[in-house]
């Protein structure tokens, strides 16, 4: 059973309230004289996606399981990027603190190291440890939308894209406003305080957006306070050569880490710097250069820092060039090369460096609303350990004007992080002899579009992993040791219903169920691999009223593997008709007690109210 007792009752009530409200609205709207008025419909549900495909395509034309979530229209309704990740039932956000101050991201039951984070298609993953992939130097005001690829992406993106990819797309400036300035602030429970703002302007061929965001809290319990400061600059320059784009980001987050890594009152501070450069070279070629630097100061006992303290610093360079050429009117070839170099300097891990080089290519045939086929290959070599070959094949076929079948087969890989290889403390021990993970991914699905802006999707998938990296131990008294599992298999199903209803409503219901082959443990205890939700369901409702009211409700039901299930309900609302935009958010409305990471308690019910001031902008 998915849930029982009070949790089941709470889930039924929460789902019923939102569902009945949506159904009633749909019925009322059906007889409304303006139900076909474009102003009464959402302006952004089916869009162009760039993740999991060799070129931008309409969402309905992709042959992979991809979701897209818009953030730029109602940013006041979200507290952090994590709120958007939580909309996808195949994404498990394993938070260790409020507002994603530290969190692991898992897709389709994979480990946190098997999900690739990107900004505008350039990788963000931390080479020291996947635990720091959530250190995102990207304020909410800088984000347009988020695309989530469910399933392997290694052929396109290389290491870490084993179970999926989260691609954060930043937003350009508004063509209708030559200059725009907004600031906002809010206060809430647990000493929560948030301030943010941005300046955006257009000056001929140059566009610029500068965003700043600051969040802090005194904590809902002892040693769980946090402070997070993020800044970003996104510059666009159009020239005869093509579009030049430069993204710069920085993030500083000190936080209390009580119980994060065991029964200790720990403290930690991480800093992240990102610099990405993208240059069009004509219509068919693009060059990118990415740089990420990250530092981590960790004190196991904040009252006695001298007892055990780690200092880590790492960086990564990522340079790539890609090109595409048309063969016929409906077929193209894509090819490119990529080079990466990373380095870590740590009092625990030591000093290490490695390089990776890759070449890749694909042949793509596409007849819109008829059929599509793509075959791609990637050969990647890396210092010290050899090479890996990552092919993929995808295909789609329209069975009718509204029904499409799709499928894919792909191979993915992940190199061990520096923590996997070299870390040691009284409870954990790395393994310098770890081999890279490899996995074959198989999936098939059906997409049905019964009417405009309505989408029903179903997907079945299987992942066969080899040399999977995890920490295991024989009993609770033993230390965790990094090792490679010989074989692990995961199977699952995904179902999505997304509806754009009259009166500017968006409704989505998603479900993901996963089963893993635990026989591979042979009686041993796993630290990460089997820490996933076996079932997860998400119901979300959002409305953007022409009168200026915005509202959003998200209900999530999570059944954790061999652990307690729980229900979370979050709600938010705002009014944006004038230059003053009041807003309110309530998290964990049911005051649920839950632990996404075993032993790490999360906050109960909390509310926040705030005001955004549209200082220089066109009043809506």
What is the number of domains present in the chain? 1
pLDDT at 86 over 90: yes
Rounded to 10 degrees, the C-alpha dihedral 501/504/505/508 comes to: 80
Q: Residue 550's beta-bridge partner residues?
A: 544, 574
pLDDT at 320 over 70: yes
Digit-coded pLDDT (tens) for 505-524: 999 999 999 998 765 677 78
Q: Are 261 and 255 in contact (CB under 8 A)?
A: no
Q: What is the pLDDT of residue 34?
A: 36
Residue 410 is part of which domain span?
5-616
Query: Helix (H, G, I), strand (E, B), or coil: what is residue 50?
Result: coil
Q: What is the pLDDT of residue 325?
A: 97
Report the alpha-carbon distance of residue 440 to residue 25 in Å, rounded. Answer: 44
pLDDT at 194 over 80: yes
Rounded to 10 degrees, the C-alpha dihedral 302/307/308/309 comes to: 60
Cα separation values, 229 from 128, 138, 166, 193, 434, Å = 22, 10, 22, 12, 36
pLDDT at 484 over 80: yes
Report the alpha-carbon distance of residue 569 to residue 540 in Å, rounded. Answer: 10
Digit-coded pLDDT (tens) for 605-619: 999 999 999 998 864
Q: Which residue has the tokens 């990788």?
A: 123
Digit-coded pLDDT (tens) for 407-454: 999 999 999 999 999 999 888 899 999 999 999 999 999 999 999 889
Digit-coded pLDDT (tens) for 140-188: 999 999 999 999 999 999 999 999 999 999 998 777 678 999 999 999 9
Cite the beta strand spans of 204-264 per DSSP E. 206-217, 226-239, 242-258
Digit-coded pLDDT (tens) for 576-595: 989 999 999 999 999 999 99
Report the alpha-carbon distance of residue 493 to residue 112 in Å, rounded. Answer: 20
The mean pLDDT value of the chain amounts to 89
Q: How confident is the model at residue 262 (pLDDT cuts 50, 70, 90)?
A: confident
Report the alpha-carbon distance of residue 213 to residue 278 in Å, rounded. Answer: 24
Report the alpha-carbon distance of residue 320 to residue 160 in Å, rounded. Answer: 17
Mean pLDDT of 317-342: 96
Q: Are 358 and 320 in contact (CB under 8 A)?
A: no
pLDDT at 248 over 80: yes
pLDDT at 331 over 70: yes
For the chain, helix, strand, coil in percent to 5 are: 10, 55, 35
Q: What is the pLDDT of residue 523?
A: 76
pLDDT at 384 over 80: no
Q: What is the pLDDT of residue 519?
A: 59
Q: What is the pLDDT of residue 364?
A: 97
Mean pLDDT of 91-113: 92
pLDDT at 202 over 60: yes
Q: How confident is the model at residue 4 (pLDDT cuts 50, 70, 90)?
A: very low
Residue closest to 558 by CA, chosen among 587, 527, 532? 532
CATH code, domain carrying 203: 2.40.170.20
| φ, ψ dihedrals at 205, nearest 5° | -80, -5
């Amino acid at each position: 059973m998915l849930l029982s007792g009070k949790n089941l009752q709470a889930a039924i009530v929460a789902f019923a309230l939102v569902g009945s409200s949506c159904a009633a609205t749909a019925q009322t709207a059906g007889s409304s004289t303006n139900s076909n008025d474009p102003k009464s419909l959402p302006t952004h549900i089916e869009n162009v996606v760039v993740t999991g495909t060799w070129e931008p395509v309409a969402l309905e034309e992709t042959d992979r399981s991809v979701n897209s979530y818009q953030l730029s229209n109602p940013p006041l309704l979200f507290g952090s990027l994590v709120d958007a990740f939580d909309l996808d039932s195949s994404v498990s956000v394993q938070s260790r603190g409020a507002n994603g101050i530290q969190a692991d991201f898992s897709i389709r039951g994979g480990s946190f190291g098997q999900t690739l984070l990107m900004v505008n298609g350039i990788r963000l993953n931390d080479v020291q440890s996947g635990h720091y992939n959530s250190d995102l130097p990207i304020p909410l005001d800088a984000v347009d939308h988020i695309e989530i690829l469910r399933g392997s992406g290694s052929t396109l993106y290389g290491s870490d894209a084993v179970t999926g990819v989260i691609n954060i797309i930043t937003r350009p400036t508004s063509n209708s406003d030559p200059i725009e300035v907004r600031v906002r602030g809010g206060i809430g429970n647990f000493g929560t305080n948030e301030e943010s703002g941005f300046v955006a302007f257009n000056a001929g061929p140059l566009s610029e957006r500068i965003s700043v965001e600051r969040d802090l809290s005194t904590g809902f319990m002892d040693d769980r306070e946090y402070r997070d400061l993020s800044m970003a600059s996104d510059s666009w320059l159009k020239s005869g050569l093509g579009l030049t784009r430069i993204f710069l980001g920085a993030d500083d987050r000190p936080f209390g880490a009580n119980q994060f890594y065991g029964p200790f009152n720990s403290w930690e501070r991480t800093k992240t710097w990102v610099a990405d450069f993208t240059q069009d070279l004509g219509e068919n070629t693009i060059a990118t250069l990415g740089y990420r630097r990250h530092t981590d100061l960790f004190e196991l006992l904040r009252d006695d820092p001298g007892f055990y303290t780690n200092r880590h610093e790492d960086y990564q360079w990522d340079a790539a060039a890609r090109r595409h050429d048309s063969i016929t009117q409906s077929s193209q070839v894509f090819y490119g090369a990529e080079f990466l170099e990373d380095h870590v300097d740590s009092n625990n891990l030591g000093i290490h460096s490695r390089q990776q080089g890759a070449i890749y290519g694909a042949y793509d045939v596409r007849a819109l609303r008829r059929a599509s086929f793509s075959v791609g290959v990637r050969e990647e070599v890396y210092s010290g350990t050899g090479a890996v070959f990552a092919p993929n094949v995808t295909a789609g076929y329209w069975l009718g004007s509204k029904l499409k079948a799709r499928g894919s087969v792909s191979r993915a890989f992940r190199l061990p992080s520096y923590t996997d290889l070299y870390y040691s403390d009284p409870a954990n021990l790395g393994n310098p002899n770890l081999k890279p993970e490899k996995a074959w991914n198989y999936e098939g699905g059906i997409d049905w579009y019964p009417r405009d802006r309505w989408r029903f999707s179903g997907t079945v998938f299987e992942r066969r992993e080899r040399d999977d990296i995890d920490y295991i131990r024989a009993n609770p008294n033993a230390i965790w040791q990094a090792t490679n599992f010989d074989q692990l298999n995961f199977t699952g199903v995904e179902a999505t219903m997304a509806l754009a209803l009259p009166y500017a409503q968006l409704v989505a219901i998603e479900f993901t169920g996963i089963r893993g082959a635990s026989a591979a443990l042979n009686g041993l205890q796993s630290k990460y691999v089997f820490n996933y939700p076996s079932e997860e369901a998400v119901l979300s409702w959002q409305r953007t009223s022409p009168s200026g009211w915005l509202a959003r409700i998200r209900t999530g039901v999570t059944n954790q593997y061999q652990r307690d299930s729980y229900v979370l309900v979050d709600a938010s609302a705002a009014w944006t008709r004038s230059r003053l935009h009041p807003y309110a958010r309530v998290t964990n409305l049911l005051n649920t007690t839950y632990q996404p990471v075993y032993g790490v308690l999360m906050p109960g019910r909390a509310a926040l109210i705030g005001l955004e001031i549209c200082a220089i902008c066109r009043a809506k």
